Structure 1
């Protein structure tokens, strides 16, 4: 494999380790994640949660082979109450977080500012939307104080039944021109030709008879054990180091087995909000609810939570559009 020293950011790089039947992707987010974080002025701890969620969404969403959207969303009881990240094929990523600033500050002061504790308990939903003409697919994982990495492993183990390993990392780097945020991730999956070789350790049913020995993974394929062990050697700094390209990282991990890197897929920060979309969203509210939205200056103001763009509408303009469209 060739290992050009390109250090490319905002890129998703697919790869394969054929001797181990591994397939996967590496993502590096630079300007894209920096823009998303700084636009909202997130506190450091919240920014790290957003970076992990964005990297995970890019890894999963880039697997779509059709036009559509992959969305990762959490609703939980932690200081970070909600995360929403959209990946619109083939390359557009957007994200936002709702959080309680006071609770976040208290958690950080108590030494509980890691992503798992900030998210807390609730659920994580992963949704694939192929458009209005197709049914949506959604997988839900309970969030019980685990990290986003662990939640992804749980999703693939229960829903897809594909042995999967995910690594995520986020860093704020300070230079002469100021600080910049970076995020990175790697996803590796064991995908042999024989389905029988994908067998994983059985989950503990919780009601085994006394003296029974739980399956500790002895039935797992040796190739997957090796591949998983290699992925687990990745250090956080390797996923976000601007001087270490994705190709070189893959070479470090798998050079003894041989690894193939394929053409990279650029990813960009971008929102798809428009005036027409805002109109359609407002049309979903009742006439009394829309009346309550009118400010003292007689206008309706809407701010996109993803990109912070502000839309100003007059009630007359909006009602005319609703009537023309047959909505509301």
Structure 2
């Protein structure tokens, strides 16, 4: 794909590589997707900010997983912003869109609606989970909450858990009830880790940082130059729509030999269904189901991601129901 290609860039992820710098990356734009994620809920501004940032990060990170896999990002803290959870579902087939969903749990009484968003997470962890499909063992990794943003947490995660120098820069805003959002991810190409000894890194609380992963002058110079160039990106370039991602990459990295690959479309998508709810309740006894039954004689369930509401006859649920043994 050429840098001058003309396509619709809303809700897309564009992979690229800087051939002269041994660096790869991705550009993301989420417009309708972010609108759909957030319109399912009535979050305070601070929570919307965290969900928007987490959704952008999930799109950038998730694009690397294989077909039919699922990648989840979870941020848990002891502050009023208790949980930010996102899922990226890889396409079932080449050419199909990936799907993203997200939600947040928060303590409304403790939340400062006018305060900065990130500090309201408190102390906790940033985790990435990968579901490789039926019969495969899921992968998970986590690092402590660190830095001043979810992007900082993600960078720390890749340095500490994957030992890959990684950088994120994001921009998002809501204007006239419509979200426009975009971002760039840079990552040094995987190599054998140089961090083979020592008791900690140069990051916060002794966590590993990008510079700890680079043990040659060329690697350090290439990584530093790519980051200096990325620092010149303008918010309007990332969120569009006037500047195409390919034009932005050409301006930022023209001397680094940017090479782009096929873009990946993404859309809002939830996998909840009545069948999945029934399956999840199949482990409970009739006594357990009775405790879940309302005064109206039904069992209800609501999807935290999309708000779908389900109602069931309790006789059809649990391990004692017909067909569940």
Query: TM-score interval w.r.t. the shorter chain?
Result: 0.7 to 0.9
- Contact in 2 for aligned 1:36/1:94 (Cα 8 Å): yes
Q: Deviations over 1:257-284 (max 9, x none)?
A: 3311211000010101111100112223
- Contact in 2 for aligned 1:120/1:145 (Cα 8 Å): no
Q: Does 1:314 align with 2:321?
A: no
- Contact in 2 for aligned 1:153/1:164 (Cα 8 Å): yes
Question: How has the CA–CA distance of structure 1 residues 204 and 50 changed in structure 2, closer, same or farther, with 3 Å as cutoff?
Answer: closer
- Contact in 1 for aligned 2:145/2:153 (Cα 8 Å): yes
List aligned pairs for 1:53-132, cutoff 5 A: 53-90=54-91, 91-104=98-111, 106=112, 108=114, 112-114=115-117, 116-132=118-134
Cα separation, 1, equivalents of 2:318 and 2:127: 34
Cα separation, 2, equivalents of 1:7 and 1:205: 39
- Contact in 2 for aligned 1:301/1:311 (Cα 8 Å): yes
SS at the partner of 2:323?
helix
Q: Deviations over 1:203-239 (max 9, x none)?
A: 2499x9xxxxx98988552111111222233233432
SS at the partner of 1:87?
strand
Cα separation, 2, equivalents of 1:4 and 1:43: 39
Question: How has the CA–CA distance of structure 1 residues 313 and 147 changed in structure 2, closer, same or farther, with 3 Å as cutoff?
Answer: same
Cα separation, 1, equivalents of 2:37 and 2:203: 42
Higher helix share goes to which structure?
1
- Contact in 2 for aligned 1:165/1:231 (Cα 8 Å): no
List aligned pairs for 1:30-41, cutoff 5 A: 30-41=31-42
SS at the partner of 2:227?
helix
- Contact in 2 for aligned 1:3/1:251 (Cα 8 Å): no
Match of 1:299 in 2: 298
Cα separation, 1, equivalents of 2:30 and 2:178: 11
Cα separation, 1, equivalents of 2:141 and 2:228: 27
- Contact in 2 for aligned 1:7/1:242 (Cα 8 Å): no
SS at the partner of 1:307?
coil
Cα separation, 1, equivalents of 2:320 and 2:308: 21
Moved more, 85-94 or 2-11: 2-11
- Contact in 1 for aligned 2:195/2:212 (Cα 8 Å): no
Match of 2:94 in 1: none
Match of 1:211 in 2: none
Match of 2:282 in 1: 283
SS at the partner of 2:287?
helix
Moved more, 51-60 or 311-320: 311-320
Cα separation, 1, equivalents of 2:319 and 2:122: 44
- Contact in 2 for aligned 1:7/1:244 (Cα 8 Å): no
Cα separation, 1, equivalents of 2:240 and 2:38: 18
- Contact in 1 for aligned 2:163/2:193 (Cα 8 Å): no
SS at the partner of 2:29?
strand
Cα separation, 2, equivalents of 1:125 and 1:197: 24
Cα separation, 1, equivalents of 2:166 and 2:213: 17
Q: Once the 2 structures are TM-superposed, how far is the Cα of residue 242 of structure 1 from its aligned partner?
A: 2.3
Cα separation, 1, equivalents of 2:152 and 2:265: 26
